[in-house]
Structure 1
Amino acid sequence: MPTTPVPGDRTPRRVLQVGPLKPSLSETLRSTYDALELPDDQQARTEFLDRFGADVGAVVTSGRTGVDAELMAALPNLGAVVNFGVGYDTTDVDAARERGVGVSNTPDVLTDCVADTAVGLLIDTMRQFSAADRYLRAGHWPVDGNYPLTRQVSNRKVGIIGLGRIGSAIAKRLNAFGCTISYHNRHVVDDSPYEYVGSPVELARRVDVLVIAAAGGSGTAKLVGADVLEALGPDGYLINIARGSVVDEPALVRALTEGRIAGAGLDVFAEEPEVPVELLRLDNVVLLPHVGSGTVETRAAMEALTLRNLEEFLANGRLVTPVVEPAVRV
């Protein structure tokens, strides 16, 4: 299907894969859509774009790679960026909008699993189950006695930064634990049963646990900085299942190593897959390799929605779940 046109558009429509994707998705792109794959090597990439750039009508990528303004400029007939994942902060949506390039993502299908991950991280961080497991496996229990006491999860005051689909799903789960929920958002969420707090600093000051569920991108970069961590305090916990960019990572490392917050559960980092070495040494930190949506069921649903977006664009010039609507090409 490499030359399927958008109605009214005479330009051939090649599909381009940018960055690594789920193997079954990559195979479908190759076998069904005769997709090209952008080389990693810079010289090879330049030669590839000189040869094929004008033929590309749709890119399939992920939130870990994305499409920046420079790559868009090298794809003059690009009509859509189809993103595998709910996060799309690695794609320059402003440049896409200026060029009439549509952008899609995969919302809703991963909400439950990411919310489950957030709650699991919160429990593990406060109760230190992973650290206690390591304690037992290392043979400390018969020699050194019982593992030190940890902190109760139920009936805590929890603040959520970003009360969107995922943030709301986290709040719903924590209600079952008897937690009191408050939140900070870019705007007040109509009909929310939870208390709105006007700044991240004030939210952190009021709660025992701060959960980050905000979208990434320039608008939220280092939103949780040293001032927020200071307000959270030495008895407070931080949970991040959003994007590493939302937290000032060096400030977080300092706060944890100096005991200025009680602990953290992190599924995301600023420079993935690199993780600050200081965090690896701390038992009050739970570290996951960005597995928030990493279940068989959710990844299959994400793949299916990614392919629906691609097929809809190639057939009709539209996207099923647009973040930016594609321009009508005539």
Structure 2
Amino acid sequence: MLTLLLLIPIAAEHKALLLERYRIIEAPDAASRAAALAAQAAAIDLVLTNGAVGFSAAEIAACPRLKLLAAIGAGYENLALDAARERGVVVCNGAGTNDDCVADHALALLLASVRALPQLGAALRQGVWRDDLPLFPSFAGRRLGVLGFGAIGRKIAHRAAAFGMVIGYHSRRPRADAADSGDTRYFDSAVALAAWADDLVVATPGGAATKHIVDSGVLAALGPGGHLVNIARGSCVDTAALAAALQAGQIAGAALDVYESEPQPPQALVKLPNVILTPHVAGWSPQSIRGSVTNFIANVDAWQRGEPLPTPL
């Protein structure tokens, strides 16, 4: 039986799928991870982690039997890919397994922010009725900028188009399949996209290339009626610049599922009334987690058979 080092928390019902096939070493925090590697590195065949938790070159070197390294979700920014490949370790991720869930959450955050659902709920609890409250925009005709137009970005655009929103996007280059998400317009920079858009959703990969891609300049371009949603990586948004823009009324609101300070909440944002925060759960649902686990198993099975992996990196 293969030995799996499991570096992320997982529900019992999904862990059971793994226990049927592998001997599991659970190490969901830094202390247990260090202890597991110190005591059992020589027994580890497989590692299941995620993009944020990662797995380093030194850790790969410490595991002489390691054959397959996997990220449970789409992100893989902290996996030492070069070190893995040099060692002949197969690497895969969970691309596509939670795209719908993330896109659903992004639209939920955007709706809640633009329609001010938390603020309206708080006002009602304080005895304030609608006649004494401001009006908030509807979606039809509103311009949505999608920053990053991969599979998740396109699903977000498709959902937003169903609300009657007009879609623009920025990615490294125009995409031939952009029209699959409805009528779209390409912009060659994040600033240009933000200047055109009423609202901006960040759906780009993490990593050095996109660090603080949403900075003070992008926020200024988005403007005082704009809302920012981030379901990508916390590093994509300059938290200090966002806090300053919100406090100054430079943008209208923000709804974030990811933070630079994870797993700690962003202290500069937590007390602001025009911010919605969720604890990095956009890709988490019973369906998506089960799909991610079964996808991991399918990758391991394919590797054992000597076949191409379903979702290789």
- In the superposition, the TM-score normalised over structure 2's length comes to 0.90
Task: Tell me what 1:146 maps to.
Answer: 132
> Cα deviation per residue 1:163-201 (whole Å; 9 max; x = unaligned)?
111111111111122222111101210142322111111
Contact 1:105 1:322 in 2 (8 A): yes
Instruction: Give, in angstroms, the shift of residue 66 of structure 1.
Output: 1.8
2:7 maps to 1:18: yes
Q: Hey, what's the Cα distance between the residues in 2 that align with 1:152 and 1:26?
A: 42
Contact 1:21 1:61 in 2 (8 A): no
Secondary structure of the residue that 1:34 maps to in structure 2? strand
Instruction: Give, in angstroms, the shift of residue 21 of structure 1.
Output: 2.8
Instruction: Give, in angstroms, the shift of residue 229 of structure 1.
Output: 1.1
Instruction: Give, in angstroms, the shift of residue 232 of structure 1.
Output: 1.3
Instruction: Give, in angstroms, the shift of residue 216 of structure 1.
Output: 1.2
Q: Hey, what's the Cα distance between the residues in 1 that align with 2:292 and 2:310?
A: 13
Task: Tell me what 1:328 maps to.
Answer: none
Secondary structure of the residue that 2:21 maps to in structure 1? helix
Contact 2:7 2:33 in 1 (8 A): no
2:287 maps to 1:294: no
Instruction: Give, in angstroms, the shift of residue 312 of structure 1.
Output: 2.7
The within-5 A match list for 1:1-330 is 1-2=1-2, 14-38=3-27, 40=29, 42=31, 48-137=36-125, 139-141=126-128, 146-193=132-179, 194-316=184-306, 318-323=308-313
Instruction: Give, in angstroms, the shift of residue 283 of structure 1.
Output: 2.4
Unpaired segments of 5 or more residues in structure 2?
Answer: none
Q: What amino acid sits opposite 1:218 in the alignment?
A: A
Unpaired segments of 5 or more residues in structure 1?
Answer: 3-13, 324-330
Structure whose alpha-carbon radius of gyration is higher: 1
Query: 1:282 and 1:140, CA in 2 relative to 1: closer, same or farther beyond 3 A?
Result: farther
Secondary structure of the residue that 1:77 maps to in structure 2? coil
Q: What amino acid sits opposite 1:153 in the alignment?
A: F
Query: 1:49 and 1:177, CA in 2 relative to 1: closer, same or farther beyond 3 A?
Result: closer
Q: Hey, what's the Cα distance between the residues in 2 that align with 1:262 and 1:236?
A: 5
Instruction: Give, in angstroms, the shift of residue 40 of structure 1.
Output: 4.2
Deviates more, 1:60-69 or 1:206-215: 60-69
Query: 1:133 and 1:100, CA in 2 relative to 1: closer, same or farther beyond 3 A?
Result: same
Q: Hey, what's the Cα distance between the residues in 2 that align with 1:173 and 1:45?
A: 39
Q: Hey, what's the Cα distance between the residues in 1 that align with 2:164 and 2:38?
A: 59
Secondary structure of the residue that 2:48 maps to in structure 1? strand
Secondary structure of the residue that 1:239 maps to in structure 2? strand
Q: Hey, what's the Cα distance between the residues in 2 that align with 1:173 and 1:73?
A: 44
Secondary structure of the residue that 1:190 maps to in structure 2? coil
> Cα deviation per residue 1:277-304 (whole Å; 9 max; x = unaligned)?
3422222211111221222222222222
Q: Hey, what's the Cα distance between the residues in 1 that align with 2:77 and 2:253?
A: 27
Instruction: Give, in angstroms, the shift of residue 95 of structure 1.
Output: 2.8
Instruction: Give, in angstroms, the shift of residue 123 of structure 1.
Output: 1.0
> Cα deviation per residue 1:5-47 (whole Å; 9 max; x = unaligned)?
xxxxxxxxx32212323333334434531122347465x7556
Task: Point out which structure has higher relative CO (alpha carbons under 8 A, 6+ apart).
Answer: 1
Q: What amino acid sits opposite 1:141 in the alignment?
A: V
Contact 1:257 1:278 in 2 (8 A): no
Q: Hey, what's the Cα distance between the residues in 1 that align with 2:55 and 2:307?
A: 19
- In the superposition, the TM-score normalised over structure 1's length comes to 0.85
* Count of aligned pairs: 309
Q: Hey, what's the Cα distance between the residues in 2 that align with 1:124 and 1:111?
A: 20
Task: Tell me what 1:10 maps to.
Answer: none
Cα root mean square deviation, aligned: 2.2
Q: What amino acid sits opposite 2:91 in the alignment?
A: V
